[in-house]
Structure 1
Amino acid sequence: MKKLQRYVLFELLQVFLLTLAGLTALIFVALVGREAVQKGLGLGPLLRMTPYLLPQAMQFAVPGTMLLATTSVYGRLSAANEVIAAKALGISPWRLAQPTLVLALLTSFGAVALNDLAVSWGRLGVQRVFVESLEQVIYRQLALHRSYAEGGVQINVKKVDGRRLLMPTVTVQSSDGGEPWTISSASAELRSSPDRRKIVVRFDGIHVEGDVSIANKEAVEREIDLAEVLGAAEGSRSPSNYALGEIDRELREVARQQAEVRHEQATERTLAMTTGDFDRLGPDAWAPLERRLRAHERHSRRLALEPYRRWANGFSCLAFVTIGVPMAIWRQKGEFLASFFLCFAPILLAYYPLLMVSVDAAKAGELPPLVVWVGNAVLAAWGVWMMRRVVRN
């Protein structure tokens, strides 16, 4: 029995590793192409992004590869009547599935760590490389299309002559809702700050700021804070970009901020009651505090959801395998792709819709974060039901 289990495990590892390498490479090329097309990056920045994009490619490849390897190996076993022979010897199909379930369990733990790495270190790394390469990107886009727009930055020019922008109009809107500014001039030039976190725009000659024309022989320089206009500032960091180890600390910080807002509200109520200045409780004075409190509550809910979502996503490997093993055995055919798509169809039609609906409900506070495991539970229950039928038949 152990020899048969070792054989199954060896075959599974072979198919899994080979398929994982191919599928990861395919997804990686697609991610690189997306960055190149959407953001106009050159070869240098794309090469610097490689280590950050690799975990993201593997994040998508691992669950599908686990399912494909499972249907391939057990499809061949069933087609060769080895499962029937094992049952004739009194060996339950559950024993045949045991090494695969153990491997899927270990892979799921690895997938959780991989997901955490991809959404925190990987995404932030891609964003950092993009920000550091933005000067080169802007010049390329302006030379090709005579316009550039990303986040809160919009630049239009008549022509690009080397590093000089002819007849440029630059509009900048901060992501924190600050006042936008627009400047037009006869020519301008861009350069990155030494730390590459800002773009300095040098406007030459007569320029128009807003609706005011200013005749100035000296150049005018304005700085564009990339973290602010691209939404990459620390305060605007998405909860999905926090590592699991950072979430508890951030939740405590959000709780502290919520307590501060509630303290401000209590102070305003007290002052209004003691001084008779009830305008302090009017909509104009009270609404900003309510908005801040609701924003902290939304941020807190999304942070609390992230660990559940990442663990559920990682353990999709185990959930996929629970339906892949009985489906491949039940079909008794070596055409593993047919078994794969028979398994993947309900995953696509049921698992991912359930995951998205549950995530949205948890973000809105309508359901507890634990609800994101519903999709995994449905697949596992279905897989156990199918496996019991395989054992009985």
Structure 2
Amino acid sequence: MAFVIFTLVLVTGNLVKLADLLVNKGVPPWDILRLFGLLIPSLLSHTVPMAILTGTLLAFGRLSNDQEITAMQASGVSIWHLAAPVAAVGLIVSLGLVLVNDHLVPNSRFATRRVLEEIGIRNPAAYLEPGVFVKEFKPYVLFVYQMEGNHLAKVRIYEPMEGRPTRTILAERGEFIPMPDTKQVQFRLFQGTSDEPDPRNPARFYKLEFASYTMTLSLATGRDPSNLRKKPKDMTPGELRREIQELTAQGIDPTPLATEQHRRPATAAAALAFMLVGMPLAIRTRRAERSIGYALSLALILLYYLLSLGTQSLAVEGLVPPGPALWLPNVLLLGAGLLLLQRAGHR
């Protein structure tokens, strides 16, 4: 149940983006289904540890609330004997997640990028995104501050020209019409200005105000999804190692790649750390209610991932070695779990 809830929460934001591609940008349903399927591996690496933690808190909270833990300890079963199978399950899950993070996730991420590239080639409107400089419509560069459906607000279109000033088109609002058959997008802009060349001196522009302005942009030619270059998060462990070796041989600092290399097993180990801290925490709280279990889970998850993001940033910037930085949250969580287990054993 916890796994389903966390998966639904994480997938919601992506579903909104997929719905936008389907409804507003004319992307075929089959491509949407492909993208949704490729999301699953990335979600697993986060939702499985979250669900493991919640399940541990609920299960041992119920046992503690019913005095089952006390009864077992009274009959000679130590807290460490109870923790052994929990640790074994956590270790197995973590090892499984290592395979997911090292192979399934990078392959699915790269496949997603290729599908998006294919979609963009067939339907250029899919490239439009607010707050991003869009450079796919050569020679133009587009920037849209706000975008809702096919409606745009505060549109900027730049046309860089060699040896001449950059032509700029500004509009308060606009809309776009996808033209996938011709690999074009038609823009209708309203209430703006356009730089137009002076007929007597093309190197100079004059401002032309317009109430409405229509222009059709075409996708740049020569794009091929098969030539897409892998990013660090798309690489398998072997590819990461080779890239690190090549950069090192060239005298280039490979810290960002080394950070990615350590991030994957460290993230997978969260399942073991969550189980070992969740068990004694549930015993100490002695509460069986699901609301308590979910609240504790969310608090621990938030703390863990905030710490992970912080240490990862330090590693990428080269302030801390990637290994110690990426594994620090797990070490702290495991240390807290062992300390709580020791205290629970002396009750």
- Partners of 1:306 and 1:226 lie apart in 2 by 28
- Aligned partner of 1:317 among 271, 279, 282: 271
Give me the CA root mean square deviation. Answer: 4.1
**1:364 equivalent in alignment to 2:308:** no
**1:352 equivalent in alignment to 2:305:** yes
Alignment correspondent of 2:220: 223
**1:37 equivalent in alignment to 2:20:** yes
Relative to structure 1, is the Cα distance of residues 222 and 386 closer, same or farther in structure 2, using a 3 angstrom cutoff? closer
1:249 maps to a residue whose letter is R
- Deviation string for 1:75-110 (max 9, x for gaps)? 111111110110110101221222221111111111
Alignment correspondent of 1:87: 73
Alignment correspondent of 1:306: 260
- Aligned partner of 1:244 among 237, 254, 269: 237
Once structures 1 and 2 are overlaid, which stretch shifts more, 18-27 or 249-258? 18-27
- Partners of 1:139 and 1:348 lie apart in 2 by 36
Q: % of aligned pairs identical?
A: 26
**1:56 equivalent in alignment to 2:9:** no
Alignment correspondent of 1:6: none
Alignment correspondent of 1:330: 284
Relative to structure 1, is the Cα distance of residues 21 and 354 closer, same or farther in structure 2, using a 3 angstrom cutoff? closer
**1:65 equivalent in alignment to 2:65:** no
- Partners of 2:268 and 2:165 lie apart in 1 by 42
Relative to structure 1, is the Cα distance of residues 83 and 62 closer, same or farther in structure 2, using a 3 angstrom cutoff? same
Relative to structure 1, is the Cα distance of residues 336 and 180 closer, same or farther in structure 2, using a 3 angstrom cutoff? farther
Structure with the higher strand share, 1 or 2 = 2
Structure 1 residue matching 2:313: 3-state secondary structure: helix
Equivalent residues in 2 for 1:145-164, closer than 5 Å: 151-153=134-136, 154=141
1:309 maps to a residue whose letter is R
- Aligned partner of 1:130 among 107, 110, 116: 116
Structure with the higher helix share, 1 or 2 = 1
2:315 maps to a residue whose letter is A
Number of aligned residue pairs: 293
- Partners of 1:21 and 1:246 lie apart in 2 by 33
**1:102 equivalent in alignment to 2:88:** yes
> Residue 63 of structure 1: CA displacement?
1.0
> Over alpha carbons, which structure has the higher Rg?
1
> Residue 65 of structure 1: CA displacement?
0.2
1:34 maps to a residue whose letter is K
Relative to structure 1, is the Cα distance of residues 122 and 340 closer, same or farther in structure 2, using a 3 angstrom cutoff? same
**TM-score normalised by structure 2 residue count:** 0.70
Relative to structure 1, is the Cα distance of residues 221 and 93 closer, same or farther in structure 2, using a 3 angstrom cutoff? closer
**1:24 equivalent in alignment to 2:21:** no
Judge conservation of contact 1:72–1:337 (CA < 8 Å) in 2.
Answer: no
2:3 maps to a residue whose letter is L
- Deviation string for 1:198-242 (max 9, x for gaps)? x689xxxxxx9995989xxxxx988345579xxx942xx432222
2:32 maps to a residue whose letter is L
- Partners of 2:195 and 2:237 lie apart in 1 by 45
**TM-score normalised by structure 1 residue count:** 0.63
Judge conservation of contact 1:171–1:181 (CA < 8 Å) in 2.
Answer: yes
- Partners of 2:127 and 2:293 lie apart in 1 by 46
- Deviation string for 1:101-128 (max 9, x for gaps)? 1111111111222223454112222221
1:88 maps to a residue whose letter is A
- Partners of 1:320 and 1:243 lie apart in 2 by 26
Judge conservation of contact 1:75–1:331 (CA < 8 Å) in 2.
Answer: yes
Ranked by relative contact order (alpha carbons within 8 Å, sequence separation 6 or more), the top structure is: 2
- Partners of 1:102 and 1:48 lie apart in 2 by 35
Judge conservation of contact 1:172–1:224 (CA < 8 Å) in 2.
Answer: no
